[in-house]
Amino acid sequence: MRFLFVHGTGVRRDRHDALFALVRERLTARFPGAAVDSCFWGERFGAVLASGGRSVPGLNAPGRADAADTETAEWGLLLADPLCELRVLAEAGWDTGGSAEGPDDDPFAPPGVQAAGTRVLELLHRLAEAPDDPHGRPHELGALLDGTGLAPGFRPALEAAADSAEAARAGARAAAEPQARELAVALARAVTAGALATAGADADCTAAERDRLVELLTTRLGGDARVPGARAAAFLGRLALRVSTQPLLNARRGSLTVGATPALGDILRYQARGTELRAFLHQRITAEPGPTVLIGHSLGGIALVDLLALEAASGGPVPGAELLVTVGSQAPYLHEIGALTALPPGSSLPYGFPRWLNVYDRQDVLSYLAGPVFPGDPRVTDHEVRSRQPFPVSHSAYWKQQSLYERIERAVAEAGIG
């Protein structure tokens, strides 16, 4: 048995190698006797801005919810503005009985006593000014940053928080220990959000790993990770569910378009010139004999659905293709709107199309359900993964989810592949 991994939109060599190493490690652990191969197509068939982005206006311009939904919305707001919680604390402060003064402003305070928040800021500055040596970090913190792809953005995020006016003002207003503990949580969330925002879709970070990073940083700042950021989080949680992103999108249109071109452009290019990619996939699938499990992420899933359907309708199944697994794929949506190359809208999957396991995440706006658009087809099964991450991190958050590989193992057994 062989697995063939087909990556998705916007993936180029460095990202592919890191992603495939993770997928191969997890599959090999569950299927020790199977071969795990990859089909890297990004640089050969992917999109580029041939004119340097001259078509983009303003290219150089400056640029009912449950707890899970609220949490996701909060982190979405933090990714857009990592300092937003600190800004709330800086402006609103805490209820101190009518005074926002700290010990340094209290004429009756013992000499030399600092505001509790000042000590938190000193710890943050020490952390930001420490030598950038991975071996000098605590083992768990260093391993967590390296394993999630957040290491490159960690120090810039630390420095941005430590040097911000918001942190300085919030620290000055945090006079007592309970306020300092809440400040430590807000600072830890700001640093974590900054590192996540830098990594973007390249972050391989689960919500549990994100929360653990916040806990570790909170402890380093002298706080208690069990104490929620009540004042700032309560306000921003409500705001996050209502805030409009249009002004941000307008201001960042140029940079967003350039940054999104590999991902969006790959889809558009495939729609116009997908024949070459499908031929390449066919060659890779049939290069080795025996049963093959095809795993396609995002656009990789679209291309596989097209290939398998076209081949099945025109002359027979692709040799060896026994099971298709699509992850975070838009193929069902494209079929529903009539934009899937292989199938007219409303048509059924052809005879000879293999079993199809479609994996999605409600927080991933680029994932869709296959079962409802192919009603009654026993070959099609949808499986939900819950990463608890906001988009776009959720689009790449599948590969560390244990439930994904458990469901693939079950699908392999159901298909009788061995």
- Write out the two tokens for 331: 């193929």
Distance of alpha carbon 383 from alpha carbon 406, whole angstroms:
11
- Write out the two tokens for 65: 């919810």
Q: Compute the Cα dihedral for 54, 55, 61, 62 and give only its sign.
A: negative
Q: Are 367 and 329 in contact (CB under 8 A)?
A: yes
Gyration radius of the chain over CA positions: 25
Closest CA to 315 of 327, 307, 325, 323: 307
CATH code at 2-49+257-415? 3.40.50.1820
* Domain limits, the chain: 2-49+257-415, 67-251
pLDDT at residue number 257: 56
**Residue 262, by phi and psi: left (phi above 0), alpha (psi -120 to 50) or beta?**
alpha
Closest CA to 366 of 247, 267, 278: 267
Q: Are 85 and 196 in contact (CB under 8 A)?
A: no
pLDDT at residue number 345: 87
pLDDT at residue number 109: 47
- DSSP-based helix, strand, coil % in the chain, nearest 5: 55, 10, 35
Eight-class DSSP state of 392: T
Helices (H), 132-265: 139-148, 151-162, 165-173, 177-199, 207-220, 230-240, 246-251, 253-260
- Total residues found in the chain within this entry: 418
Distance of alpha carbon 129 from alpha carbon 145, whole angstroms:
18
pLDDT at residue number 54: 57
Q: Tell me the helices (H) and strands (E) count for the chain, helix number first.
A: 18, 6
pLDDT 10s per residue in the chain (418 long)?
999 999 998 899 999 999 999 999 999 999 999 999 999 999 899 877 666 665 666 565 544 545 666 777 788 889 989 999 898 888 876 655 444 444 444 444 454 556 788 999 999 999 988 765 555 566 899 999 999 999 999 999 999 999 999 999 999 988 888 889 999 999 999 999 999 999 998 999 999 999 999 999 999 998 875 555 555 665 565 555 555 443 444 455 555 555 555 667 788 889 888 999 999 999 999 999 899 999 999 999 999 999 999 999 998 899 999 999 999 999 999 999 999 989 998 899 999 999 999 999 999 999 999 999 999 999 999 999 999 999 989 999 999 999 999 999 999 999 998 6
pLDDT at residue number 361: 97
Quote the pTM value.
Answer: 0.73
Q: Are 252 and 63 in contact (CB under 8 A)?
A: yes
**Burial class of residue 313 (count of CB atoms within 10 Å of its CB; 0-12, 13-18, 19+):** middle
